[in-house]
Chains A and B, each alone.
Chain A
Amino acid sequence: MAKEQTEKESPGVRAWAPAVALGWLVPGGGHLLLKKTGRGVLLLVAITAMFLCGLMMRGTMFTPQGEDLLTVLINWGGWVGDVCGGVLYLMTVWLGYAQPDVAGHVHDYGTKFLVTAGLLNLLAMVDAFEIARGRKS
């Protein structure tokens, strides 16, 4: 009974899924869909800038591979972070970006910028989810 009441009160998947999906594809897209224009534009600019800086620093994209546990965790974790970048990641891969992992602090920062851009987009997706569910304004 209580469960039914909770389900009636909280919006269903159709309320939040488009915002979360668009939020993954386009950084800040979920917020824009939910008419939070100012926040959506800020997220779009900040996350895209971070991703582009990572590319201009010639950061490496992770690929899901590895043999020992630590390497698997690093590569798979980094790959998930990269994929969270949405269309930025997809376009980069489609356009054939394949920077090898080379020594140097600029490349290293670039790799971190690319992964962090994806992880920040994940935070934006969670925020869009909470707004769509009515938990946040």
Chain B
Amino acid sequence: MGLMEGLDNSVVTGRLDSALGWARKFSLFNLPFVTACCGMEYMSVQGAHYDMDRFGAAFPRFSPRQSDLLMVVGTISLKMAPVLVKVYQQMCEPKWVVSFGVCTISGGFYDNYCTLMGIDRVIPVDMYIPGCPPRPEMVLDGLQKLQEKIQRSPHPLTSGERHRDSPDSSHRA
């Protein structure tokens, strides 16, 4: 006699972290940290034509405390870097970072006195979307890959592990 007998179709079985991953990947509230020309392409992805909302990641929150996806869009100067770090630290766990465009990935061609040569020098990055600027299709592709990553990642409820090695989470048990 199986456990499921007599329950018919009234229950669904599955792994808890898989269900939590599914829920988390479709409820991304992104914070657009837009500093440069990539912002035009970001707006295009957000807009009706490409419509990021189809993938459950459309609603921009302009407060880091209410968002869990930091989209860094555009060149980050050394003067801006402390601001970016502060915004990242203000976000609650779980949180993800998308590096949008070559300037955020490597500094791009701004190899000079004032540019941060890649945001991963100061904050951890989950998904890199290259391009100068990336086409909206690439952004959507990157977003879906990030969602796959979120789906796969362990949840603290089930694994007991910390979600990520962010410096501001080190004080937690």
- The answer to whether A and B assemble together is no
Binding site for B on A (CB under 8 A): none
